[in-house]
Amino acid sequence: MNLRLYGLRNEAFGFSGLTHSCSNRVRFTSRENSKRISASAENNGTPSKSFDYDLIIIGVGVSGHGAVLHAVEKGLKTAIIEGDVVGGTCVNRGCVPSKALLAVNGKMRELQSEHHMKALGLQVSAAEYDRHGVEDHANNLASKIQSNLTNSMKALGIDILTGVGTIVGPQKVKYGKVGFPDNIVTVKDTIIATGPVSFVPKGIEVGWKTVITSDHALKLEYVPDWIAIVGSGYIGLEFSDVYTALGSEVTFIEALDQLMPGFDPEIGKLAQRVLINPRKIDYHTGVFAAKITPAKDGKLVTVELIDAKTKETKDTLEIDATLIATGRDLFTNGIGLKNLNVVTQRVSFLLMRECE
C-alpha cells in the first residue's frame, strides 16, 4: 500500500490524510492542521500495556503543542521530544519576535511623523532607538511565552524529553543530547511535528551578519545601511518594514514578474501602496539572485542578478547585507524516516512510504 504525506506547501499534512493500518504508526502534523483544543488539567494518562507511552510527539512548535492538548484531552500517556527550545519557530524565531519588532517599528514611525505628532500637539525632536533594547524586547517576549508554554505542559503532566528524537524502528524512539548516551522509549503512536526551516536556494552561503535568514535577522545584531531582501513573501515584507523603520534602505529581489506574487492581488496592491511605495524601497522583479558572495576583507556583499527567463546576467549589486527570504522548507533530517522505509521524493513536497 502507498501512503502519501504532503508537505507544508501542499495541502493536508495531518491526521485526516493518513491511513493507520501500517505497523509503524507514524503521523505527521503541521500548524495548518492543528486545532485549538482546551485540555483539562488532568494528569497524563496510563500507557497502554507494553509501551512506555501511548503517544510521542517529536517537535513542540505550535503544531506539536496542539497535538499535546488533543492527546491530553483523549487521556493518552504522552511525551514530547524537543531538540531545541519549546515553542519552535513561531515562539522563538517567527511570529512572536517578528511581531515584537513590528510593534517597535510602528512606534518609531509614529514618533518620526512630525505631522502626526503636531496634530496631537506633541513635539518630538528626534526619535532614536537602542538596538540592544529592541533586541531584548523581542527576546524577552519570546522567552516569556516559551516558559509559559513549558510550564503549562508540565502542569498537564506531559513528560518533556530533551534532545533530538529519532525513530529507530517500529514503535521505538530514541532521544538524547549530543555527547550523552541515547535513551530509548517504546511508544504506540508517534507524531512528527518537526516543522519547517528557512529555505536557502542552492549556491547561497548564509553567514552571520551579511548574508542572513530571518533566524539571524530577528536577533537584530546588525542594522545595515542598505540591505537586499531576496523574496517578497510575507517574511520579506515584514523585514522591509523593520529595516526601513530603523533607517535602512531596502532592495527587493523577486524572481517572478511582480512583487508579493503569492498574495491575494487586492492585498498585494494595498501592501505595495502602503508598505512599499512611500518607503526607501526599490525592487528588481523577474530576476534571480544567482550568486551571493558574503562581505569579506572590506568588500561589500555582491549579488549577481540573472534574468529569470533568459538566465542572462542583468546586474550585480554591491550591498551591505542580504536577507534570504525565499520561503520555508519541511524539516525531516535526522528523524529516522529511513528506519521506517520512508522514501522522500522531492524534499519537502512529497513523502512516500511503502508499507508491507
Ligand X SMILES: Cc1cc2nc3c(=O)[nH]c(=O)nc-3n(C[C@H](O)[C@H](O)[C@H](O)COP(=O)(O)OP(=O)(O)OC[C@H]3O[C@@H](n4cnc5c(N)ncnc54)[C@H](O)[C@@H]3O)c2cc1C
Q: Give the residue ranges of DSSP H helices in the chain.
A: 62-73, 88, 95-112, 114-119, 131-155, 214-217, 234-245, 265-271
The answer to whether 190 contacts ligand X (rule: CB under 6 A) is no
Nearer to ligand X, 283 or 331 (CB): 331
Contact stretch for ligand X (CB under 6 A) within 123-131, 266-274, 279-287, 327-335: 327-335
Minimum distance, C-beta of residue 14 to ligand X, in the bound complex (Å): 10
User: What gap in Å lies between CA 71 and CA 55, rounded to an integer?
Assistant: 8
| Among 354, 333, 329, 350, CA closest to 342 | 354
> In sequence order, what are the residues at sequence separation of 6 or more whose Cβ sits closer than 8 angstroms to the Cβ of residue 199?
326, 327, 328, 329, 348
Torsional class of 195: left (φ above 0), alpha (ψ -120 to 50), beta (otherwise) = left
Q: Is 235 in the site for ligand X (CB under 6 A)?
A: yes
Interactions with ligand X, residue window 148-177 (CB under 6 A): 164-165
Q: Check residue 64 for interaction with ligand X (CB under 6 A).
A: yes
**Shortest distance, CB of residue 66 to ligand X, whole angstroms?**
8
Q: Which residues pair with 289 in a beta bridge?
A: 305
Is 43 or 140 the residue whose CB approaches ligand X more closely? 140
DSSP state of 273: I
Q: Which of 55, 79, 81, 281 binds ligand X (CB under 6 A)?
A: 81
Query: What is the smallest separation between the CB atom of 214 and ligand X, expressed in angstroms?
Result: 4
Task: Tell me the closest approach of the beta carbon of residue 192 to ligand X, in angstroms.
Answer: 8
Our separate counts of H helices and E strands in the chain read 8, 20
| Beta strands 211-212 and 321-324, pairing class | parallel
Minimum CB distance to ligand X, residue 100 (Å): 11
Query: Using CB under 6 A, which residues numbered 333 to 352 contact ligand X?
Result: 334-335
Candidates 116-124, 139-147, 151-159, 190-198; binding stretch for ligand X (CB under 6 A): 190-198
Measured from the CB of residue 8, what is the shortest distance to ligand X in angstroms? 7
Grid cell 502519501 in the structure block, residue: 4
For 353, the enclosing helix (H) or strand (E) is strand 350-354
**Residues touching ligand X, count (CB under 6 A):** 31
56 contacts: CB under 8 Å, gap ≥ 6? 78, 79, 80, 81, 161, 165, 173, 185, 187, 189, 190, 191
Stretch touching ligand X by CB under 6 A, among 57-65, 129-137, 241-249, 272-280:
57-65
Q: How far is the CB of 61 from ligand X (least distance, A)?
A: 2
How many C-beta atoms lie closer than 10 Å to residue 133's C-beta? 9
Q: Where does this chain bind ligand X (CB under 6 A)? A: 30-31, 58-64, 81-84, 88-90, 93-95, 98, 164-165, 193-196, 214, 235, 331, 334-335
